C-alpha cells in the first residue's frame, strides 16, 4: 500500500513538472511560430489610464511592423516590488527580453552583468543617433565605453510652488538662484497658524523623510552622502556640509514649524501640497499630471542653494537582458520606443520629460516646461544608478531623520552613527 | 479488496496536496537550509561555504536582536489579548439572539479583507489630530494629538490593536465551533445544582474549551511571530526601528542587501524559536489536554 502511495504521489509530481515545462515553452514560443518579446515595466492599475492606452497603441504599432511578433508587456505594480520581482525572474532563469530600467536601481542590474552592452548595437545601427539624447541622461547607464540602456524619459527634482498661495500671502515668487535664507523667509510667510488649532493649517513647505527629496539639498551645499566612488560614507554623510544641511532641513520642522512633522506628512493620506495645505514641495515632473487635473497654478524653481546649482534626476531607460534570445528584435523595439515620434506621443501625457532633446524642446514654451528644461544641465544621476546596495543607504538615512525628529538625537551624533553603519554595510562582501 | 481500493483512492486525493507541500514548502525549506550555510549574494557569482557564520552574525547583530525583541513583545501582547477578546466575542455571538448571524458575519469581515487595504484604513484611524481614535479622544476631553504611528513607544502597541481586530474573526469562529460542541446537558445539570453564569463559564466552558484554546494559542503565536504586512505597509519598521520585526528584517536583508545566505539563516533562527515555543506550549498544555480528553 505504501508503494502504491509513493507511485501516485510521484505520478502527480511528474505530471505537474511536465505541465510546468510545457507552459514555460509555450509562453516563450508563442503560437504558430510567433515570436514573443517580453517587456517588463512597472505599470499596473495605479498608472494613468491614458498612458496605458498610449503604451498599448505603441505596442500594437510595433507588432504591425513585425508580422510575426507579439509584445508581451509584464507589468510589475507596487512600489518597491519591481526590483525584487524582476531579480527573481533572473534568478529563476526566466528574465524578460526588455526591461524598463529605473535609474534609482540601475546599478543592481548593470553591476551584476544582467544586461547587454548596447554600444556595439548602436555602432552597427546607422539609423540610430545617440547624440539626439541629453548626454547627462544617457550617462546614467554608462560604465566607461559600455552603455546599458537607452533613455526614455526623465525628470529633474525641482521645487514646485503654489502660485495662488504665494500671491495671497504677498510673497514674491522664487527667483532663479534663490538662497536658503530666501526659501526660509518664504516658508515662514506662507505658514498659517490659526488660533485654537494645535498645528498650522498650512505649511510653507512639505518635508518628507524621503532621501531623494533631501539629497539635492546636500549637493547644493557642497556635501554628499557617499564618496565619489560610492564605497565610503564616513567623511561624506557626516561631513560639515551634510550635517549643516540636515540640521537646516529638520529645523524646518522642529524649530521654525514651517513644515509638518513626519507623522503628519506620512499619515495625512493626501498630498498636502495638492490639498493646498503646503505651499512648496520638492518633486518631479510626474506630479504635474495630477496638479493639472486639479487646475493648480504651479510654478517651478531650482533647489535653494548658496551659489551651487545642482539637482538629482530620475529616469526610465530601456535595456536588454543578457539572456534574451531575441537581442536584435529587442534592440528594434527599444529604438522604436525611444524614437522621436513615439516619445512625442508618450510624453504628451506630461508624466515626464523626453530624453530625446528634439521632443523635449517641442514641449517647451510654457513657463513650467521651460523651468524644468533649465534644470536639465544641472541634474546629476541618482546614487542608485552607481551603487548596487544604495537602497540600504536610503533605509539608514530614513532612520537617521527619525532618530533626530522622533528621538531627539543630536544631528551630528546621528549623522556620524549613520555614516559608520553605511560604511560597515558597504564594506560587507 | 474493496478496502484496498478505498485506500488507493484516498492516496489519489491527498497526492496533489502532498505534491504542493513538497514543491512549495519542503523543497524551499531544504534549499534555504543549504543557503543559510553559504555566503550567497542574490546575483553575485562568488558564493562559498561559511558554516554557521551567518547564524553567528545574525545572533551578534544588535538590529536583528532588536527585531526579535520587538516580535516577542508583539506576540506577548497580541496573543493573550487576542485569545481573551475572541473568546469573549465568541461567547457573545453564541447566544440565541435575533440577528446574531449578522454580528458573526461582521466580526469575520476583517478576515476576508486584504491586509494591505485594511492597513491603509488603519493608517487613517491612527492619524494624529484628525484620525478616528484621536477624534474620539477629543470628544472625551483629551488633547486628541496622540501620534500612534510616529511615537516609538506607541507604534508597536498600535499594531497590536490593529492585529487584534484583524485576527478576531478567525479566532472567534474556532471558539464558536468549540462552544457549540459542548453538550448542553452539562449546563443544564450545573444549573440544577445551582451554578451561576460565571461558575458555569469557569467550570464547564473553559475546561471543555481547552483543546480549542490550545489550537488557537499555537496558531496565534505562530502568526504573531510572522507579522509582516502591517509593518511593510504602515511603518516600514519605524519609527526608530520600534516596529522592526523579524520577518520584515529578513525581507530587508534579502531584498535591500541582497544577502540571501544571511536572510536564510535568520529565517531558520525564527523557525527554531517558533518550534521551541510550540513544543513548550505542547508540554505545558499536555496535562490539561489529557484532562479534557478524559472529560469527553
Here the cell at position A403 is: 532618530
Residues A176, A283, single domain; the answer is yes
Domain boundary at A363, A380, A397, which?
A: A380
Note the Cα A391 to chain centre separation in Å.
12
DSSP one-letter code for B111: G
Q: Work out the average pLDDT over A163-192.
A: 96
Q: Which residue has the higher pLDDT, B30 or A263?
A: B30
What pLDDT, in 10s, does the model give residues A401-423?
A: 989 988 789 999 999 999 999 99
Name the residue facing B15 among A12, A90, A425 (closest C-beta). Answer: A12
Residue A45 pLDDT: 63
Give burial (CB, 10 Å; 0-12/13-18/19+) of A216: buried
Tens of pLDDT along B127-154? 877 789 988 998 988 777 788 888 889 9
B252–A114 C-beta distance less than 8 A: no
Average pLDDT taken over every residue of chain B: 90
Mean pLDDT of A320-336: 96
Q: CB atoms < 10 A from the CB of B210, how many? A: 18
Q: Which three cell numbers stand for residue A255?
A: 524649530
Distance of CA B22 to the CA centre of its chain: 24
Asked if the structure places residue A4 within a domain, the reply is no
Structural domains of chain B ordered from first start: 63-295 (1.10.3720.10)
Least reliable range by pLDDT among B15-19, B36-40, B244-248: B15-19
Q: Is the same domain home to A392 and A258?
A: yes
A416: cell is: 556620524
Instruction: Output DSSP code: residue A229.
Output: T
pLDDT (tens digit per residue) in B67-102: 999 999 999 999 999 999 999 999 998 888 888 888
Q: Does B69 touch chain A (CB under 8 A)?
A: no
Residues A287 and A166 in one domain: yes
Q: How far is A266 from chain B (nearest CA, A)?
A: 9
Instruction: Evaluate if residue A156 carries a pLDDT over 70.
Output: yes
CATH number of the domain to which A196 belongs: 3.40.190.10
Each residue of A81-98: pLDDT tens digit? Answer: 899 999 999 998 999 999
Residue A24: its pLDDT value, please? 66
Residues forming a β-bridge with A98? A39, A320
Q: How far is CA B9 from CA A11, B1, B16, in A?
A: 14, 13, 12
- Which of A380, A399, A417 is where one domain is finished? A380
Residues A319 and A308 in one domain: no
Contact B266, B253 (CB under 8 A): yes
Question: Chain-centre distance of CA A179, in angstroms?
Answer: 26
A92 within domain boundaries: yes
Report the residue of chain A nearest B42, measured CA to CA: A91
Contact B234, B96 (CB under 8 A): no
Residue A368: pLDDT over 90:
yes
- Burial zone of A309 (CB within 10 Å; 0-12 exposed, 13-18 middle, 19+ buried): middle
Which chain B residue has its CA at the smallest distance from A11's CA? Answer: B15
CA atoms within 13 A on the CB side of A105: 20
Q: Which residue has the higher pLDDT, B104 or A256?
A: A256
Instruction: Let me know if residue A17 belongs to a domain.
Output: no
Q: Cα A408 to the chain's mean position, in Å?
A: 31
In the numeric block, which cell numbers belong to residue A30? 508563442
Q: Is the pLDDT of residue A204 over 90?
A: yes
A:B CB pairs within 8 Å: 102
A191 within some domain: yes
| Per-residue pLDDT, A405 | 87
Quickly list DSSP for A247-269: HHHHHHHHTS--S--HHHHHHSS
What residues form DSSP beta bridges with A380? A312
B99 burial (CB, 10 Å; 0-12 / 13-18 / 19+) is exposed
Is residue A42 in a domain? Answer: yes
Domain shared by A107 and A37, yes or no: yes
Residues in chain B: 296
Minimum mean pLDDT range among A75-79, A309-313, B60-64, B188-192: A75-79
Better-predicted residue by pLDDT, A400 or B128: A400
Same domain, A169 and A264: yes
Residue A56 and residue A106 in one domain: yes
Is 0.80 surpassed by the pTM of this model? yes
Q: B49 — contact with chain A (CB < 8 Å)?
A: no
CA–CA–CA angle A200, A203, A206 (5° rounding): 135
Are residues A180 and A137 part of one domain? no
CA distance A398 to B236: 10
What H or E segment, with its residue span, contains residue A343? helix A340-347
The pLDDT confidence band at residue B45, using thresholds 50, 70 and 90, is confident
**Ranges A21-30, A341-350, B189-198: which has the least confidence:** A21-30
Least confident of A16-20, A308-312, A393-397, B288-292: B288-292
Interchain CB distance below 8 Å, B256 and A261: no
Categorize the per-residue pLDDT at B53 as very low, low, confident or very high, splitting at 50, 70 and 90.
very high
> How many folded domains does chain A comprise?
2
Burial of B25 (C-beta count, 10 Å sphere; 0-12/13-18/19+): exposed
Which residues span the domain enclosing A272? 158-313+387-427
Helix axes A240-254, A211-220, angle to 10 degrees: 130
Residue after which a domain boundary falls, among A380, A395, A417? A380
User: Does the pLDDT of residue A123 top 50, yes or no?
Assistant: yes
The answer to whether the CB of A304 falls within 8 A of the CB of A182 is yes
Pairwise CA distance, residues A325 & A93, whole Å: 12
The residue that leads in pLDDT, B194 or B3, is B194
pLDDT > 90? residue A242: yes
Burial class (CB in 10 A: 0-12, 13-18, 19+), A366: exposed
Same domain, A187 and A88: no
Of the residues B115, B232, B255, B264, the best mutation for testing chain A's interface (the one with the most A CB atoms within 10 Å of its CB) is B255
Mean pLDDT of chain A: 91
Mean pLDDT of A221-234: 95
Q: ipTM of this model?
A: 0.80
Residue with cell 488660533: A195
Average pLDDT of the segment spanning B208-216? 92
Among A177, A173, A152, A154, which Cα is nearest to A164's?
A: A173
d(C-alpha B132, C-alpha B113), whole Å: 20
Say yes or no: A376 and A396 in one domain.
Answer: no
Task: Give me the percent of chain A exceeding a pLDDT of 90.
Answer: 72
Read off φ and ψ for residue A300, nearest 5 degrees: -130, 130
Given a cut of 90, whether residue A64 has pLDDT beyond it is: yes
> Average pLDDT of A44-65?
83
Looking at residues A247-265, what average pLDDT do you find?
A: 89
CA A186 and chain centroid, separation:
28
Cβ separation B151–A406 shorter than 8 A: yes
Among the residue ranges A41-55, A178-192, A297-311, A371-385, the one predicted with the least confidence is A41-55
- Confidence bin at B1 (pLDDT 50/70/90): very low
Q: Do A11 and B15 touch (CB under 8 A)?
A: yes
- Cβ burial of A289 (10 Å; 0-12, 13-18, 19+) is middle
Domain-embedded: residue A2: no
Q: What whole-number distance in Å separates Cα of residue A134 and Cα of residue A151?
A: 9
Residue A192 lies in a domain: yes
Judge if A61 and A135 occupy the same domain: yes
Residues in chain A: 429
Q: Are B175 and B90 in contact (CB under 8 A)?
A: yes
Q: Would A88 be classed as within a structural domain?
A: yes
Determine the distance in angstroms separating the CA of B286 from the nearest CA of chain A, rounded to an integer. Answer: 31
Query: How confident is the model over A250-269, as a mean pLDDT?
Result: 84
Phi-psi region of A175 (alpha: psi -120 to 50; beta: other; left: phi over 0): beta
- B277 min Cα distance to partner chain A (Å): 32
- State whether A356 and A403 are in the same domain: no
Cis peptide preceding B239, ω within 30 of 0 = yes
Amino acid at each position: 500500500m505504501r508503494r502504491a502511495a509513493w507511485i501516485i504521489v510521484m505520478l502527480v509530481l511528474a505530471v505537474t513538472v511536465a505541465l510546468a515545462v510545457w507552459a514555460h515553452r509555450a509562453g516563450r514560443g508563442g503560437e504558430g511560430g510567433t515570436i514573443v518579446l517580453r517587456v517588463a515595466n512597472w505599470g499596473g492599475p495605479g498608472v494613468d489610464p491614458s498612458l496605458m492606452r498610449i503604451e498599448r497603441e505603441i505596442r500594437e504599432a510595433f507588432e504591425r511592423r513585425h508580422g510575426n511578433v507579439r509584445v508581451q508587456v509584464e507589468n510589475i505594480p507596487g512600489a518597491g516590488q519591481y526590483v525584487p520581482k524582476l531579480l527573481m525572474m533572473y534568478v529563476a532563469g526566466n528574465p524578460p527580453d526588455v526591461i524598463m530600467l529605473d535609474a534609482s536601481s540601475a546599478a543592481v542590474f548593470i553591476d551584476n552583468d544582467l544586461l547587454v552592452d548596447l554600444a556595439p548595437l548602436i555602432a552597427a545601427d546607422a539609423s540610430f543617433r545617440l547624440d539626439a539624447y541629453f548626454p547627462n541622461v544617457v550617462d546614467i547607464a554608462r560604465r566607461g565605453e559600455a552603455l546599458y540602456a537607452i533613455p526614455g524619459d526623465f525628470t529633474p527634482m525641482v521645487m514646485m510652488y503654489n502660485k495662488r498661495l504665494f500671491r495671497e500671502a504677498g510673497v514674491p515668487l522664487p527667483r532663479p538662484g534663490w538662497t536658503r535664507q530666501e526659501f526660509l523667509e518664504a516658508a515662514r510667510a506662507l505658514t498659517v497658524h490659526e488660533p485654537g488649532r494645535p498645528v498650522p493649517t498650512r505649511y510653507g513647505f512639505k518635508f518628507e523623510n524621503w532621501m531623494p527629496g533631501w539629497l539635492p539639498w546636500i549637493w547644493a551645499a557642497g556635501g554628499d552622502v557617499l564618496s565619489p566612488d560610492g564605497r565610503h560614507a564616513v567623511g561624506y554623510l557626516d561631513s560639515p556640509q551634510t550635517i549643516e544641511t540636515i540640521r537646516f532641513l529638520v529645523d524646518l520642522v522642529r524649530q521654525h514649524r514651517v513644515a509638518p512633522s513626519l507623522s503628519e506628512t506620512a499619515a495625512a493620506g493626501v498630498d498636502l501640497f495638492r490639498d493646498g495645505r503646503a505651499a512648496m514641495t520638492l518633486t518631479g515632473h510626474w506630479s504635474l499630471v495630477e496638479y493639472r487635473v486639479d487646475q493648480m497654478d504651479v510654478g517651478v524653481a531650482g533647489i535653494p542653494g548658496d551659489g551651487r546649482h545642482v539637482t538629482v534626476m530620475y529616469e526610465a531607460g530601456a535595456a536588454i537582458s543578457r539572456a534574451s534570445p531575441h537581442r536584435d528584435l529587442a534592440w528594434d523595439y527599444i529604438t522604436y520606443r525611444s524614437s522621436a515620434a513615439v516619445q512625442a506621443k508618450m510624453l504628451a501625457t506630461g508624466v515626464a520629460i523626453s530624453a530625446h532633446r528634439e521632443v523635449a524642446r517641442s514641449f517647451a514654451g510654457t513657463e513650467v516646461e521651460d523651468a524644468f528644461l533649465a534644470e536639465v544641465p544641472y541634474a546629476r544621476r541618482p546614487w542608485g544608478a552607481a551603487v548596487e546596495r544604495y537602497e540600504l543607504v536610503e533605509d539608514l538615512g530614513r532612520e537617521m531623520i527619525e532618530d533626530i525628529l522622533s528621538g531627539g538625537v543630536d544631528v551630528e551624533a546621528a549623522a556620524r552613527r549613520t555614516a559608520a553603519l553605511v560604511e560597515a554595510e558597504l564594506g560587507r562582501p | 479488496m474493496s478496502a484496498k481500493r478505498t485506500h488507493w483512492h484516498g492516496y489519489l486525493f491527498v497526492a496533489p496536496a502532498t505534491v504542493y507541500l513538497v514543491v512549495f514548502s519542503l523543497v524551499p525549506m531544504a534549499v534555504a537550509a543549504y543557503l543559510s550555510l553559504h555566503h550567497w549574494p542574490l546575483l553575485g557569482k562568488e558564493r562559498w561555504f561559511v558554516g554557521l557564520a551567518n547564524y553567528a552574525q545574525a545572533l551578534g547583530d544588535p538590529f536583528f536582536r532588536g527585531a526579535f525583541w520587538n516580535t516577542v513583545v508583539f506576540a506577548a501582547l497580541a496573543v493573550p489579548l487576542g485569545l481573551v477578546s475572541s473568546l469573549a466575542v465568541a461567547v457573545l455571538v453564541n447566544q440565541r439572539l435575533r440577528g446574531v448571524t449578522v454580528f458573526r458575519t461582521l466580526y469575520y469581515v476583517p478576515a476576508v479583507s486584504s491586509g494591505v487595504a485594511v492597513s491603509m484604513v488603519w493608517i487613517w484611524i491612527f492619524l494624529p489630530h484628525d484620525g478616528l481614535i484621536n477624534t474620539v479622544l477629543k470628544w472625551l476631553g483629551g488633547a486628541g494629538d496622540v501620534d500612534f504611528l510616529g511615537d516609538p513607544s506607541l507604534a508597536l502597541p498600535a499594531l497590536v490593536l490593529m492585529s487584534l481586530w484583524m485576527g478576531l474573526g478567525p479566532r472567534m469562529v474556532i471558539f464558536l465551533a468549540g462552544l457549540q460542541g459542548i453538550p448542553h446537558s452539562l449546563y443544564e445539570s450545573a444549573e440544577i445544582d445551582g451554578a451561576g453564569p460565571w461558575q458555569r463559564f469557569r467550570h464547564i466552558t473553559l475546561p471543555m474549551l481547552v483543546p480549542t484554546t490550545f489550537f488557537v494559542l499555537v496558531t496565534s503565536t505562530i502568526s504573531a511571530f510572522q507579522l509582516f504586512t502591517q509593518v511593510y505597509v504602515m511603518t516600514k519598521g519605524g519609527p526608530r526601528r520600534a516596529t522592526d520585526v523579524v520577518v520584515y528584517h529578513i525581507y530587508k536583508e534579502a531584498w535591500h542587501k541582497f544577502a540571501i545566505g544571511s536572510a536564510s539563516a535568520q529565517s531558520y533562527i525564527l523557525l527554531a524559536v517558533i518550534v521551541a515555543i510550540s513544543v513548550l506550549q505542547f508540554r505545558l498544555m499536555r496535562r490539561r489536554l489529557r484532562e479534557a480528553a478524559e472529560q469527553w
